[in-house]
Structure 1
Amino acid sequence: MPVLDHFRLDNKVALVTGASAGIGASIAQALAEAGATVACHGNSRPAEATAASIGGNAAAFQADLSSTEGAQQLFDEVTAKFGHIDILINNAGTIIRHEAVDYPFEDWQRVIQINLNSVFQLSQLVGRALIERKAPGKIVNIASLLSFQGGIRVPAYAASKGAVAQLTKALANEWAPRGIQVNAIAPGYIATDNTLPLRNDETRNRQILERIPTGRWGDPEDIAATAVFLSSPAANYITGTVLNVDGGWLAR
């Protein structure tokens, strides 16, 4: 097989959570360009625009992953339309900032539910279905630099993303013999709507760029290309890995 064919995703169905904008939308577009049929999930923001921009068989779905029932609803709706899921990209996430001494427990629970619990729930649902079908599959979780660092004023986010990294390894260990690879991407500072306030802060922007060896903010496409790789046959011998896409931030 020609080497570039190992990166094709033809005849695969991919579910991308949090695909309404930013990294998630870029991943959905890239998977479609590689040949996959993409289910685009939106939570508070619908993902119809992403699905429309992709065209073809792409479709939008909406489910509240802050609810314990949201993952099951999303899985049921996607499989009802497409029959099965071959690739799961757990991208949906949220961040709520407070001083740790004042952190409201309801905010803690919301962050943990969206960033960690729903990741496990969807992974379990997709993994179980793949095993029942005796089919190979790929799960890619979006971790964070705060899977490794503590951050400031984000204890729930740091805890959830640290747990995502460990969950990735745990699932990889169990499911590798079943032909299911589970990996994660830890993005660095990426130029999205969520980071616009940081980029507009002249002092903070300068401090961030001085720390990044490549000297630039990442683009959503940097994460999307990595997601295509980890979702493809080219990554069949990679599992349990948290791949830093951070311009060298953690190496500094």
Structure 2
Amino acid sequence: MGDKPLALITGAAQGIGYACAEALAEDGYGVILADINEDGVMAAGKALGAVASYACDLGDTAQIIAMFDVIAKDHGVVAALVNNAGVAMPGDFLTYDLADFERVIDINLRGVFTATQLAGRAMVEHGIEGAIVNMSSVNAQLAIPAIPAYCASKGGVMQLTKVAALALAKYNIRVNAVGPGSIDTEMMAGVNANPDAFKTAMSRTPLGRAGSAREVGDVVAFLCSKKASYVTGETIYVDGGRLGLNYTC
């Protein structure tokens, strides 16, 4: 099972999840990757020298439970969990499909709760003073009408992070969240391809540029490290100053 502490990163086949895994591997964790994209997560695991890679739909509770069972059996208990898997599924508010709403909540919020609960139980049982980091968003606080389920789910993640942090504090298990702003990933591809949309997004970002996935990954790695040993229940926004604005453009 190795001497390295284990870190499980969901949604790790690409983008922010991959960057989180990369940063944690550099910090000495044995990384375990999970993603619904089987080919992608296997390729990512090979590139990073991961301990293991799993195809898992983080919107399916049974699959999450099964994955944790296999990890515990084959590798041991994770000391860090990064709940990064997520989807947006945009649509008009008045005609937004309920099935789409439920799918977003299943992955972005219920999946986060399930994985956090399972990881927390195992950490407590084995006396591991671990760290859990949830991926929230500036949209936990800033609403966009075209992504109602996403905004609702990320607001839920922000509050769930606080709840879990309080519940697990007595075991010295820390739970925090990271809230990205405009990050240059596949999710922002549509904005990047539209000069007017990109200009508008950057006008709302005081640093004047999109962030990189690794800039988010480095904050996640910090929160999983002993350098953040007195930080719990917080959401750190990696947004180029976006939340500090008092106007919209």
Does 101-110 or 166-175 show the bigger shift? 101-110
Contact 1:61/1:78 (CA < 8 Å) preserved in 2?
A: no
Letter in 2 for 1:118: G
Deviates more, 1:150-159 or 1:178-187: 150-159
* 1:52 paired residue number: 46
Task: Show the counterpart of 1:101.
Answer: 94
Normalised by the size of structure 2, how large is the TM-score? Answer: 0.94
Alignment deviations for residues 56-97 of structure 1 (CA, whole Å, 9 cap, x no partner): x53211111222312102211222221111000000001111
Per the alignment, residue 145 of structure 1 pairs with 138
Q: For 2:13, which of 20, 30, 40 is the aligned residue? A: 20
* 1:70 alignment partner AA: Q
**Structure 2 regions of 5+ residues with no counterpart?**
none
SS at match of 1:47: helix
Q: Which of these residues, 149, 158, 170, is aligned with residue 163 of structure 2?
A: 170
8 Å contact kept, 1:51–1:60 = yes
Structure 1 residue 61 corresponds to structure 2 residue 50: no
- Runs of 4+ aligned structure 1 residues displaced above 3 Å come to none
Pick one of 6, 9, 30 that aligns with 2:23.
30
Q: How does 1:155-234 map to 2 (within 5 A)?
A: 155-234=148-227
User: What CA deviation, in whole Å up to 9, does each residue of 1:120-166 have, x standing for no partner?
Assistant: 00000000111111220000000001100111211111111000000
Percent identical pairs in the alignment equals: 37
Which residue is equivalent to 1:3? none
TM-score using structure 1 length: 0.93
- State the distance in 2 between where 1:66 and 1:123 align: 14
Structure 2: distance between partners of 1:193 and 1:161: 18
Aligned to 1:111: 104
C-alpha distance in structure 2 between counterparts of 1:14 and 1:77, whole Å: 14
Query: CA separation in 2, counterparts of 1:183 and 1:24?
Result: 16
Secondary structure, aligned partner of 1:136: coil
Question: Does structure 1 conserve the Cα–Cα contact (< 8 Å) formed by 2:130 and 2:173?
Answer: yes
Query: 2:193 corresponds to which letter in structure 1?
Result: N
- 219-228 vs 145-154, greater mean Cα deviation: 145-154
Look up the SS of the partner of 1:217 in the other structure: coil
RMSD: 1.1
C-alpha deviation, 1:23, in angstroms: 0.3
The offset of 1:49, in angstroms, is 1.4
For the residues of structure 1 that align with 2:101 and 2:37, how far apart are their CA atoms?
18
Gaps of 5+ in 1: 1-9
